[in-house]
Amino acid sequence: MKRYGEHRFPGKLFVVEGIDGSGKSTQLMLLHQWLQSEGYGVVFSEWNSSPLVRETTRRGKKKQMLTPATFSLIHATDFADRMEHNILPLLKAGAVVLCDRYIYTAFARDVVRGMDRKWVRELYSFAVKPTAAFYFRVPLEVAMKRILEGRSGVKFYEAGMDLGLNEDPEQSFHIFQGKILEEYENMIAEFDLTTVDATLPIEEQQGQMRQIVKAKLAQAKRLRVAP
Amino acid sequence: MRETYSVALPKMNLGELTGRLIVIEGTDGVGRSTQIKLLRPWLEQQGHAVLDTGIKRSQLAGRGIQQAKEGHTLGRITLSLFYATDFADRLENEIAPALRAGFVVLTDRYIYSLMARAIVRGLDPAWVHNVHSFALKPDATFYLRVGVDDLIPRVVFSSGFDYWESGMDLYPSEDMYESFRKYQTALLAQFDKMAQEYDFTVIDASPDIRTVFERLRAGISRVLKGEPREPLFAQPATEVAVQASDRSEAAGTGKTDQPAAEH
């Protein structure tokens, strides 16, 4: 069992992180399209998407059965399934793998939920270290505005309602995201995250991202599947 | 006061957990559930409220694990974490509330089985220990032990070979018998190692049901009275350290001719 570290597989792994409303998924989608148009073999993997675990997570959330411990472990199970059956074999095969959220999401959320910081990091030590991890840094108020304008309401666990921070979901969401933001800020140095200013125009952020990704792929021309 | 192996879960007030936590451990087919069926009424007759619980019985993950295992597609890290999820759910929603209410909790297997399986499947022991380090330390762990030669007739003549109990995910090229033998031998070696590390009370499970039950009863009585452990049932450290091959012979002495009399 390999520990978190630089992998030596031919593939490359790029991940995006940030609080809800930071715009990271939009940026990853734009990167995905660009890499495909450049002829790379690209595969996308999303947080909390393993079919194996889906039913259990769905039930746990719907019935609000999840505690901080089971919330943490079921997401780790989901991640492990994707790591073992998807991400690792793809990296071995030489693909460019794009992940919307990675272990840093768990580090932030689980610690805010009261799980032991060291325990959570050790829990995910089977994860492969990304080629680059982009952190979309955004002030809390900007992210809140983007989120709350765009939808009818936030979900129970998204708002951190299980923590009893506030009876009002919107207030709870605000406090919860603020705490998560703090955790992210502390991880920039700890995990050498590549910070992107998520208040800049979308095109400018994408430009920065492509430049970095291009440099990382420069040594790996053979990843291209089409000329 | 009650302790965990390392980290405490949020909102788990350890000082409140005043009941008794008694673990029955042992490999597949050793007779754990049979013994728990006998122990429960015995404890209740003495006025103890009893909760019995076991692996895969959580409301949250029990069914999910079952379904996932049917597909035979679980990775070893995924499998280990899925079981840890099930365990955490039972710990928080069954075991801890019962202990808070002063129950005697009898658990059919505990983190030791989960850790043994994960380590036998090649996962890093330090990682495996960390994952399960939020578990409560039990008041006592009774390890029902038989050698692999004694185990085979018990399993074959009761339920037949099961894919996972035979470690077919680990040794896919073998037939079920060979695979079972290898897998259970490796598990026994892990259990014997943990018996020392976690201070198990080792009970020879090769005699008849009644004899094993009497030994368990005596051991549990002592735990409930807060008396020190009966040294008679503790396996000497030297015996635990014996090679796996010798061990199964020693444990199976004179018993191979009358397999699974109790099943």
Q: Is the pLDDT of residue B77 over 80?
A: yes
Shortest distance, CA B130 to any CA of chain A (angstroms): 7
**Between residues B166 and B84, which one has the greater pLDDT?**
B84
Q: Is A53 within 8 Å of B82 when comparing Cβ atoms?
A: yes
B27-53: average pLDDT:
94
DSSP code string of chain A: ---SS----SSEEEEEE-STTS-HHHHHHHHHHHHHHTTB-EEEEETT--HHHHHHHHHHHHTT---HHHHHHHHHHHHHHHIIIIIHHHHHHT-EEEEES-HHHHHHHHHHTT--HHHHHHHTTTSPPPSEEEEEE--HHHHHHHHHHHSS---TTTTTGGGTS-SSHHHHHHHHHHHHHHHHHHHHHHTT-EEEETTS-HHHHHHHHHHHHHHHHTT-GGGBS--
Ordered domains of chain B (ranges, CATH):
17-251 (3.40.50.300)
- Residues in chain A with CB shorter than 8 Å from the CB of B64 are 53, 55-56, 59
The whole-angstrom separation of Cα A110 and Cα A69 is 8
SS3 B200: coil
| Interfacial residues of B (vs A; Cβ cutoff 8 Å) | 6-7, 9-11, 59-61, 63-64, 67-68, 71, 73-78, 81-82, 84-85, 88-89, 91-93, 122-124, 127, 130-131, 133-134
Our CA angle for B21, B22, B28, nearest 5°, is 135
SS3 B166: coil
Closest CA to A138 of A45, A205, A47: A205
The per-residue pLDDT for A110 is 97
A124-153: average pLDDT:
90
Q: Is the pLDDT of residue A198 over 70?
A: yes
- Say which of A1, A80, A125 has its CB closest to residue B78: A80
pTM: 0.87
- Residues in chain A with CB shorter than 8 Å from the CB of B133 are 119
* Placement of tokens 């989120």 in the chain: A147
Estimate to the nearest angstrom the gap between the alpha carbon of A189 and the chain centroid.
17
H-assigned helices in chain B: 32-45, 62-70, 76-90, 96-100, 111-120, 125-131, 148-158, 176-197, 209-225, 237-240, 244-251
The whole-angstrom separation of Cα A105 and Cα A116 is 15
The per-residue pLDDT for B263 is 35
B150-176: average pLDDT:
83
The per-residue pLDDT for B27 is 85
Query: Which CATH superfamily, name and number, covers A12-218?
Result: P-loop containing nucleotide triphosphate hydrolases (3.40.50.300)
Query: Is some CB atom of chain B closer than 8 A to the CB atom of A133?
Result: no
The fraction of chain B above a pLDDT of 90, given in percent, is 62
Q: Is A119 within 8 Å of B6 when comparing Cβ atoms?
A: yes
Shortest distance, CA A174 to any CA of chain B (angstroms): 22
Q: Is the pLDDT of residue B94 over 90?
A: yes
Q: Is A74 within 8 Å of B61 when comparing Cβ atoms?
A: yes
The per-residue pLDDT for B85 is 94
Q: Is the pLDDT of residue B260 over 80?
A: no
Give phi and psi for A15, each to the nearest 5.
-125, 150
Find all residues with CB under 8 Å of A89, minimum gap 6, and list them. Answer: none
Query: Is some CB atom of chain B closer than 8 A to the CB atom of A86?
Result: no
**Between residues A117 and B174, which one has the greater pLDDT?**
A117
Q: Which residue of A has its CA nearest to B71?
A: A52
For chain A, what are the domain ranges? 12-218
Shortest distance, CA B56 to any CA of chain A (angstroms): 13
Residue B113 to residues A37, A171, B57, B132, B203: CA-CA distances in angstroms? Answer: 50, 43, 15, 11, 16
The per-residue pLDDT for A16 is 98
A191-196: average pLDDT:
97
Beta-carbon contacts below 8 Å between A and B = 100
- Say which of B10, B60, B89 has its CB closest to residue A113: B10
Residue B236 to residues B71, B196, B198: CA-CA distances in angstroms? Answer: 42, 10, 14
